[in-house]
Amino acid sequence: MLPLQRKQALLDYLAQSGAATMKQLSEHFGVSEMTIRRDLNALEQENRVQRSHGGAVYLQHEVSKDEPNAAAKSRRNREIKNRLAAYAAERFVRDGEVLILENGTTVSGMTAYLGAYAELTVLTNGLDTASLFRPLVTERRTLISCGGMLRDVSGTFVGPVAEEFFARYHADTVFLSALGYTHEDGFTDPNLLDTQVKKAMIRAAGKVVLLLDASKIGNRSFTTIAHAAEVDIVVTDSGIRAEDKEKLENSGVELHIVSG
């Protein structure tokens, strides 16, 4: 089990049991108490658990860890997502650029509009994004996909191999999405492994563009991808509330609202 997998499994275990000793956790996961102690220290820093003498207590939060599959995601707010994808492809892509596209349905939807560019290099960790961009591949439109461990529910390659892949490259722009956003916790997703790859994508890019339909604003998922201050541009729809619009703009983000 990878460290990030163990960390998430440990949190799941604590969520179900409420609390556990380090000895119980060490025996359950088959690792040393020192390893468990490091994992608990990291989870305590993320405000997910509270350390107690010899163990830890799970902290209850209104956090969603539910992760819809790709088919379910694609059905939600489809028209809005298509508008956001078309807008981003037209406004924030230039011929000859190197782009990172993750596998969220809004971002992968951008591929339908990239045929307008004669020369592009697209880096991805997503099966859907790769499949959708494949018909556009020519001598001047290049697709490069990472390897790694495949997560079936998200259709993404994750883990150290995927993270190291993005560390090798320098992209002009990364296009990301998320399952939630709050002003306190930033842009969030339900899985640590996917989040770590998205962070590697951000480090590899000169500009970060976040595509997020307004229905996700106010929702908080399990783990933070990035805070608003780490994002250059947010593209959302006219369903955004006035107070959220103001807070995002005050954070320094360049906010683009796409009307119907």
Instruction: Supply the pLDDT for residue 194.
Output: 95
pLDDT tens, residue by residue, 94-142: 999 999 999 999 999 999 999 999 999 999 999 999 999 999 999 999 9
Instruction: Supply the pLDDT for residue 230.
Output: 95
DSSP bridge partners of 31: none
Rounded percentage of the chain residues whose pLDDT exceeds 70: 92
Which one is predicted more confidently, 2 or 70? 2
Least Cα distance to 211 among 18, 82, 46, 61 occurs for 82
Instruction: Supply the pLDDT for residue 65.
Output: 53
Instruction: Supply the pLDDT for residue 67.
Output: 58
Q: Which CATH topology does 70-258 take?
A: Rossmann fold (3.40.50)
DSSP bridge partners of 203: none
Looking at the chain, which residues constitute the CATH 1.10.10.10 domain(s)?
Answer: 3-58
Instruction: Supply the pLDDT for residue 177.
Output: 97
Sole residue written with tokens 């947010």: 234
Instruction: Supply the pLDDT for residue 60.
Output: 59
Looking at the chain, which residues constitute the CATH 3.40.50.1360 domain(s)?
Answer: 70-258
CATH 3.20.20.150 corresponds to the domain 3-58: no
Confidence of residue 61 (pLDDT cuts 50, 70, 90): low
pLDDT tens, residue by residue, 151-163: 999 999 999 999 9
Whether 200 shows a pLDDT value over 60: the answer reads yes
pLDDT tens, residue by residue, 20-41: 899 999 999 999 999 999 999 8
Mean pLDDT score of the chain: 90
Confidence of residue 47 (pLDDT cuts 50, 70, 90): confident
